[in-house]
Structures are given as structure tokens and as C-alpha cells.
Structure 1
Amino acid sequence: MARWEETAREAAAPPTYLPIPNAPTLGVGMVGYAFMGAAHSQGWRTAGHVFELPMNPALTAICGRDAAAVEKAAARYGWASAETDWRALVARDDVHVVDICTPGDSHAEIAIAALDAGKHVLCEKPLANTVAEAEAMAEAAERAAARGQVAMVGFNYRRVPAIAYARKLIAEGRLGTLRHVRAAYLQDWLVDPSAPLTWRLRRERAGSGALGDLGAHIVDLAQYLAGEPLVGVSAVSRTFVTRRPLPAGPSAGLAGAADADEHGTVTVDDATLFTGRLASGALASFETTRMAAGRKNALRLEINGERGSLAFDLERLNELSFHDHTEPATTAGFRRVLVTEAQHPYLEAWWPPGHALGYEHTFVHQARDLVRTIAEGTVPAPSFADGLQVQRVLAAVEESAGKNSVHTPVAH
């Protein structure tokens, strides 16, 4: 390689930041160590090595009920210590942030206790399993904010650079008055009726099914991108497979779910579809399912306004489709915007243009934003109040779907 090419590459490469020597340490304690625990660990472990942060995150302690499993997770993910009781983790003086990556049925208890103990809190979505729990969490967050504490919800897809850039374009008025928002989140991991019953398929643990698991994301994104809340919904839902075999071995959280042939009842939705109306009068449609054969993690969004449109597909997460309707019809059309420039959100610290990011980077960006919010004393986004708004929409969708569950045959 010619020397000038080496120099050009070096100049284009982003800096690699090391922990700031004189910056205060922000001790993180995480409750939960499964899928989300692994993703959050990646975020905390990486953020300070990519972005220059005002505080140095430290992976202080990870918590789980199984002592052997949590010790293994601590070693694998880089945590300094392990706890088997979340109360002990919250009580530690070296834990300043409590990161909650547990099923929804424990979010409220842990978050409120952590906030009351003076900790900052990051809680995975959906914020809670019920509106009442979410209201109590939002009230605790409001009390804590008066003491300088931060409470944030983990809607990580806001941290996809292309989505953050779409929000900027909409806020700048590039689409004009919004008219339509379309959102779909499709997965297929439950298509096989022999797939085992897990905590995600039981209402007492998960709150709801595809609606809470996937719908929470797209409801939040619709409101985030539009910059306004949903104010009305109409829904239908369906559980296609109502009984599933219990998993082999210990089935944590499924006590009492088994019947005589070691099957259990699915008590949440497999799929939910709903329409909605935004505060401005724009119309929205949503589809969530874990039964779409061939769709692994297909989150898709399209926003139409009087001046143009934007479209996003998570399976092509470094790209944004943009149509400027003010251009002459002879040349106008959707164009592919590769969101990898240093001027795009979050990308000033990553790779040269054209070098793509992935799913795990959203958790790095989430950690970065939370650390900066804590250091600056600003209002977090999304806040627990934002999470409560999403919870209210989910509850309204469930209520509507319940009313629409009785079907009258169409006469021919």
C-alpha cells in the first residue's frame, strides 16, 4: 500500500478513547444475565473505549438467582463480582446505576427500590407489565429526579443511527405535516407448535406476548419519530398455538403451568394488529407477530408526509430510504442514504464512511447517552414517563383487542 493511502486511512480512522484518568467512576450493577444481560454488558464494556465520556463506567456487579450461572456470566461478560440477591446489589455503595434486564414482572419492585436507595436506573422495555406498575415507577422516577437521579427506559432501537437521523429529518420539517406512520415487527421463533413454553408466553411473567415484546418497540419508535403521542387505537389479536410443551429441565417461573401431559397454556398473544391516530390527526398502523415464517427480526417503518417520505428496515440498519416530494416528478423517487458518515448520529467515534455497524452498537450508544445524561444532569430520553406512555398505549390496544375478540360470520 502506498504511504499516502496509509496516511489517508489513519486520518479517517476515529480515535480510540481510553478511560479518562481524572473522570469519576460510575459503578454499574446489572440484574439479569441472559440475552439482554449479554447485550447490555457489551454496551457498558465498550462505550468508554469508543466515546470520550465524562464518567468511566465500571462493570461492578451482576446479579442472578443461580450462583453458578451468574458467576460464569460475570467471568464471561467482564463483571468484577456477582450477587444472587438484587437487594444486596442495590445496597452496595460501589453501585451507582442499577441496570434491570429481568422479565417484566420484577421491573417495578427492583426499579422503585433502586430509585428510593438513591441509584440511577436503566430498565429494559416494556417498562412494566401493567399501567399501575408503570405509574408507580414513573412517580418514583419523578421523586428521584428532584434528587438528581436519572431513570431511563431501554428502547435501544432509538439508538440506531439511521433511526436517530430520521428523527432529525422529521423534526427539521423535511416531510412537512405527517399523514401516515406504518410499523411492523415480525419474527418467526414460535411458528413450530412444538417450541417449548417459556416465561415470555405466560401473562404473569411477561404481561403480554408479541404486543409487549415487539409492539412496545414500534409504538415507542412511532411516537419518537413523529414527535407526538398516539391518542386512539383499534386492535385485534390472536393466539394461534394455545398449548405448548414445557421445556426440559427446571422451568423457572412456570410453576403451576403444567398439565397432565407436561404441556402448559399460552396466556399471551402470538400476534396483534392495530390502527391508531396520532395527536396531530396522522394515521398509524402496527403489526406485531412471532408467527411470521421466515422473518427473523424484521422491524420496518415508513412515515409519509406532505413533503416526502422515509422508510427503514432493521435488516438493513445502516440505510435509510428518503423521498423528497418537492423535487420534479421526472427525477424524484426514493433514494438510499447510507448512514455511516461522521456527521450522522453516533458515528463520529466509529469507523470511516461505508463501514457498517450492527445491532450490538445500539447498546453502546445507549450506555453513552445514559452516562452523559447522568453527568450533565439532563432529562433522560426515553424517560420513565415515556415508558408509561407506551404502557398506556399497550393497555388500550389490549382492551380494544378484547372487545373485538368475538367474531360474527359475514353473510354471503
Structure 2
Amino acid sequence: MAENTSDRRPPFGVLLVTGSQTHQENYARGFAADSRCRLIGLTDEPDVPLRRKSLNLQLAAELNVPLLEDFAVAIVRDDVDIVCVCCEPERRSRVVAAAAAAGRHVYIDKPMTTSVDSARQMVDAIQRAGVRSQMFSLVRSPVAQRAKEVVDSGRLGTLYSLSCELMFAKGIAGTADLSQPRQEEATAGNFTFLDSKRELFCVGLYPLVLYQWLTGAAYETVYGTTGNYFFREHQQNNVEDFSSLLLRMTNGVEGTIFVGRAGWSSHPSHGVHQIRLTGSEGSILLDAYRPRLEIFSDAPPFQQPARPHPEDPMGFWSSTVQENGIAPKESWWPVASPQQSDMACFVDCIEQDRESDVSALVGARAVEAILAGYRSAAAGQPVSTEAFPPEPAGSL
């Protein structure tokens, strides 16, 4: 095993795994914007398809960093401290495990994996190596920070329930065949496709992390439904574009989530994002777009693309949205903005030698709840989750 980098000091060398048409387009620039970091290069496993190799080369060129062909050599370079992993979720576990075994801290795209076993293997590898880990989430968003302040203040009394509605406003909606209801399956093959994703897997991850972050508790039971209301692409790939879950947490708190993708024209900005907190002394509804600045002008209104991007009809990636000439929505502007990027928060954890509040274990628990949701939706009844070991003391 390579030397552990926990005693290093800035600047931290960041190695990128996987390139364009992934969230690496955003994460890499987030790390590059932090003066405590420098990008070392971009690498990937040697047997990736030619299309992926081309996309890796594309982002490396955009960032002006070398493309490092040998993944095994790249992760043990002396100048690498952090490995930012954005490969497909089906192979994230082994990539993260290899980086952790090399003594490197790992920043992981969400959701972490597609199975409970691979999530456990990832968590075990990280804990065995003694490195820091963090999975991307939305807990740095202003609405999540407001929710945390309310819960921690105690002004709601004993917390009884949490509810979150999160609907992404991307893609050209209205193409689903509503006469063809889809029956959920207990186990899934693929979770992501070129033209669609499982939206419980993709979007549901965010509130499932949020609830752990707010309460410090894990999940006991999940009662889920999935549906198809918006997109032909999801139906053709036999995956859902909407899901709802009823959850019971280990501390007795009840939770509900309503998540999915509803199309560019469904919302003046990025989509509905609301959190309701209910306790013994009251309840509060928090909206990511309240307060907001509404702009009325003679500027042309937002127009969704006449034709979807052939490689990204849902608008997943910044690069393809730009290539398709989709202008940003300008009529609603949230007043608040994140105080710090998620990447900067992870660098703080490394500098201060402390566990992240969204460690790999938090991500693993979210994966288990997601997979339990699919089992529940297929069976039409609540199911129990598998118990992950407790988080190390002081990490939440």
C-alpha cells in the first residue's frame, strides 16, 4: 500500500477519474477554484470504451491537464492527495477502493454505487485505509443550511417528520405514453443511460442524504412507488421519471420524499425544491426559491431546445447544454447563495483531519434506502433496510 497522505499540507494534488459528460465537468473546476488545490491530471481504467476515452481526452484538454493513461500508476503518484471519482456508478466501488488502498482521500460522485454489497466494500476499503471520503450532495445549498439551523435551534420541539419535494426542470417533457403504466422490478440492470436515468437513484439521493445530515439517524423501513409521467426516453429504457418514498428512521422520525424530472418548461428556474419540517411545537416550509428576485424585462424568455442534444436529451451535463445553445433561465434568482462549495468543504476536512459530514457511509445508507425503495415499489408494501454499522463518533 502506498504512503497515506493524511499528514500532507496544501496545496493538495487532485487526480480526476473520468472526464466529460459526467459531473467531473463541475467537480474538477470546483477543486481548481480552491487555492489549496492543484489539478494533477485525468485518468481512468484502461479498458473503458473508445467513446469514454475520447470524452476523457476532451475534458483533460479543456482543463489543460495531462491525460494519464495508466490508472494504477496515476493513483500512487507522489503528488496526488485527492482522487475525484466520477466514473459510472457500476464501477465506482472498485475505483474508490483502489484509490483508498493507495492512501488517497476520495471525493465521490453521487450515488456511490448500484448495490449494497459494493457500497459496503467501498466503505470498508475507506475505513481500512484511514483516508477521508465525501460524496457530493446538496447539503451546502442555502435551503439545506436553513433547515439545519431550524432543526438545531430546537424551536420546532421534538422533530416528528421531514418532507422534501425535489423535481429537476430539465428535458423535453410531455412525450410519455400515460396509457402504458410501468410495473417496477425488485432489482435493476442498468441505472443510467445515454438518454435517461433512474430518477429515484439520481434525484432521490439528495433528500436521503439530507435527512441523515439533519438527524444523524439512518433508515429502518421504506415504502416506495415509482411512475412514468413525463418522458418517452425513460419508458423506453424501463426506468422511472418520478418516485415517492415513505421512510421511517432509526430515531423514530418519519420522512417522505417526492422526486423526479419534469422538463425544462415545468419551472421558472431549476425545479421545485421544498423542505417541510414538523415538530411537537410547530412546522415550517422552506423553499429554495423564497426569498427570490423576480426579473421582468424585455429580454427574450427562456426557450427549451427545439431538438434535444443527441447525446444528452435530458440536459444532464454542462458541456452538452452549452453545445445545444440552451441559454440559462433568468427570471428567478434566489437571494441566497452557498457560502462554500462542496469541494472546499471536503478540503477543509482533509486540512483539519476530521470526518466529512457526508462520508461514504452516509452515501452507502442512501444507496440502501434507494434500493429498498425499488423493492418496495415492486412488492407494493414496506420493506426493511439492511443495517449499516454506525458512523464513527463525531462524524455527524
- 5, 9, 27: which is aligned to 1:40? 27
Among 136, 141, 150, the residue aligned to 1:154: 136
Residue matched to 1:61: 41
Shift of 1:404: 1.7
Pairs within 5 Å for 1:127-206: 127-145=112-130, 149-155=131-137, 157-188=138-169, 189=171, 191-193=173-175, 203-206=189-192
Q: Give structure 1 stretches of 5+ with no counterpart.
A: 1-21, 49-55, 195-201, 246-263, 320-353, 406-412
- Is 1:228 paired with 2:202? no
Shift of 1:399: 1.0
The equivalent position to 1:379 in structure 2, one of 348, 351, 355, is 355
- Please give the alpha-carbon distance, in whole angstroms, between the structure 1 residues aligned to 2:229 and 2:151: 38
For 1:173, the aligned partner's letter is G
1:100 aligns with 2:89: no
Q: What residue is the counterpart of 2:254 in the other structure?
A: 283
Question: Aligned-pair RMSD on alpha carbons?
Answer: 3.2
Task: Summarize the alignment of residues 77-92 of structure 1 with structure 2, pairs less than 5 Å apart.
Answer: 78-84=63-69, 86-92=71-77
Name the CA distance, whole Å, in 2 between partners of 1:192 and 1:89.
Answer: 45
2:275 is the alignment partner of 1:301: yes
TM-score relative to the length of structure 1: 0.67
Q: Secondary structure at the match of 1:80?
A: coil
Amino acid at match of 2:275: L
The alpha carbon displacement at 1:374 in A equals: 1.1
For structure 2, list consecutive stretches of 5 or more residues without a partner in the other structure.
1-7, 177-187, 294-332, 382-396
| Cα shift at 1:74 | 2.8
Name the stretch that deviates more: 168-177 or 124-133.
Answer: 168-177
Whole-Å Cα distance in 2 between the matches of residues 84 and 285 of structure 1? 44
For 2:168 and 2:358, the matched residues in 1 are separated by 25
2:18–2:24 CA contact under 8 A, matched in 1? yes
Change over 3 Å in CA distance of 1:380–1:399 after alignment to 2: same
Contact 1:181 1:303 in 2 (8 A): yes
CA separation of 1:124 and 1:387: change in aligned 2, threshold 3 A = same
Q: CA deviation at 1:275?
A: 1.1
SS at the partner of 2:139? helix
Query: Any idea what SS the aligned residue of 1:269 has?
Result: coil
Bigger-Rg structure (1/2): 1
TM-aligned CA distance change 1:106 to 1:297, over 3 Å: farther
Task: Determine the C-alpha separation between the residues in 2 that align with 1:113 and 1:236.
Answer: 36
Q: Which residue of 2 aligns with 1:114?
A: 99
**Against the structure 1 CA distance between its residues 270 and 110, is the aligned structure 2 distance closer, same or farther, given a 3 Å change threshold?**
same
Structure 1 position 290, deviation (Å): 1.9
Cα deviations by residue, 1:304-345 (Å, 9 ceiling, x for unpaired): 1122333333345889xxxxxxxxxxxxxxxxxxxxxxxxxx
Letter in 1 for 2:150: L
Q: What whole-Å deviation, never above 9, does each CA across 1:62-108 have from its counterpart, x for those lacking one?
A: 236655543442343x3532234544432333221110122211211
Distance 1:238 1:84 in 2: 42
Give, in angstroms, the shift of residue 140 of structure 1.
0.7
Q: Give the structure with the higher percent helix.
A: 1
Counterpart secondary structure, 1:386: helix
Q: CA deviation at 1:237?
A: 1.2
User: Equivalents in 2 of 1:174, 1:75: separation in Å?
Assistant: 51
Q: Which amino acid aligns with 2:261?
A: R
Q: How many residues align?
A: 311
**Sequence identity percentage:** 20
Residue 399 of structure 1 is matched in structure 2 by 375
In structure 1, C-alpha distance between the alignment counterparts of 2:172 and 2:161, rounded to whole Å: 30
Return the offset for 1:223. 2.3
